[in-house]
Amino acid sequence: MVNFEPGNFSRLFYIDDMKNITLYLIALLMLSTFGCKRNAEDVARITSADTIVVTDTLLQQKLRNEHMVLATLYHQRAAEYRALCYQAFNIGKLMLDKDLADAEIEKHRIVVLDVDETVLDNSPFQAKSILESTSYPTYWIEWCELATAAPLPGAIDFLNYARKNGVSVFYVTNRNEALKEVTIKNLKEAGFPHADEEHVIMRTAEASKEGRRQVLLKKYHISLFFGDNLNDFAETFEGKSSSNRFQAVDDNKENFGKRFIVLPNAMYGDWEMALYGYNGGQPDSVLFDIRRKNLKSF
C-alpha cells in the first residue's frame, strides 16, 4: 500500500511492504503524471524501510492537494450529491408549508440561507486549487468576480416557491463586503429571488453569523435556516472540537430537517478546521498526519 503526503515532503511516500512494488507504483504514477518515461529514482529515493522521499518538485506540487480530489469529484460527478441537494430543498418546502399553516405567527416570514455550497456551487474553485496546487485565498476573488457559480439543484425552485408564498429570502454569507456586488450579480443572473442590496448580507468584522441572525430575528420570523456548515445555524456549534461538535449536533437533533436544513459539503468547512484545531496554516506534512490520525480504523 502506498500513501501520498502532499506539501513539504519529508515523507511523501510510505511503504508497508515491498520496496520493489512501491517503486513500480511510483514509476506508474510518474508515467501518468508526466506522460514520459523516467526512472523511479529520478523522482523519489528510499531513505529507510518505510520512507521514500520524493525529490521531484513537479510531482510534489501535483500531490499537494491530492486529498481534495475525491471530495471535489463527489460534488461534481456524484448523482448522489445532486439527489441530496434536491432532498434538502424538498424537505425545506414541506417544512415551509407547515410553517405557513401556523396562524399564530404574526411577524413577516423569512428564510435565511448561507451562500457558498448552500445555494451556489464553488466546486470549480476547488478544482482550480487542486489542478494549480494552490489553496484559498488564491484565485478566490478571481472566481467570485466571474459571478458564474451555478445554483445548487433545487435551490431556485424552492426560493421562488417561498417568495410566491410571501416569504422573503435573506442570504447571510461570510464572503467579504468587497464581494457584495459580484455576489448579488451571480445570484441575480442565476435566477435567485431577492438578490439585492438589502437581502444579501456579507461578513461583518466577525466571522460569527450570530449577530446578523439576531438583527433579523428582531424584525422577522425565521421559518428555516439553510447551510452547509453548522455555524450557519446557531452559535452553539462555533469553534468546537470535533467531538464537541458531535455533542452539539446530538443536543440539537430535533432541529435538523425541521428548522435547520443541511446541505452536504465534503470539500471544506469547519468539520475539517476542527480536525486541525482551527489552524489550517500548519505545514502540509502536519495536516497530512492529522488527517490520518483522525481516521477510525480497526
Question: Please, what sign has the CA dihedral across residues 125, 130, 133, 134?
Answer: positive
Nearest distance from C-beta of residue 283 to Mg ion, angstroms: 26
**Ramachandran angles phi, psi of 111, nearest 5°:** -115, 145
Rounded to whole angstroms, the Cα distance separating 81 from 75 reads 6
Q: Pick the closer one to Mg ion by CB: 34 or 271.
A: 271
Q: Pick the closer one to Mg ion by CB: 54 or 152.
A: 152
Q: Pick the closer one to Mg ion by CB: 59 or 144.
A: 144
State the cell numbers at 105.
405567527
Q: Pick the closer one to Mg ion by CB: 114 or 121.
A: 114
Three-state secondary-structure class, residue 53: strand
* Closest listed residue to residue 17, CA positions, set 52, 44, 42, 43: 52
- According to DSSP, the β-strands at 260-262 and 221-227 are parallel
Sheet containing strand 13-15, edge to edge, reads 2-4, 13-15, 51-54, 44-48
Task: Catalog residues that contact Mg ion under the rule CB under 5 A.
Answer: 114, 116-117, 228
Nearest distance from C-beta of residue 265 to Mg ion, angstroms: 7
- Rounded to 5 degrees, what angle do the CA atoms 177, 81, 238 make? 45
* Closest listed residue to residue 95, CA positions, set 290, 259, 273: 259
Q: Pick the closer one to Mg ion by CB: 22 or 122.
A: 122
Nearest distance from C-beta of residue 259 to Mg ion, angstroms: 18
**Ramachandran angles phi, psi of 140, nearest 5°:** -65, -45
Nearest distance from C-beta of residue 268 to Mg ion, angstroms: 9
Nearest distance from C-beta of residue 18 to Mg ion, angstroms: 44
Nearest distance from C-beta of residue 219 to Mg ion, angstroms: 24
Q: Pick the closer one to Mg ion by CB: 56 or 114.
A: 114
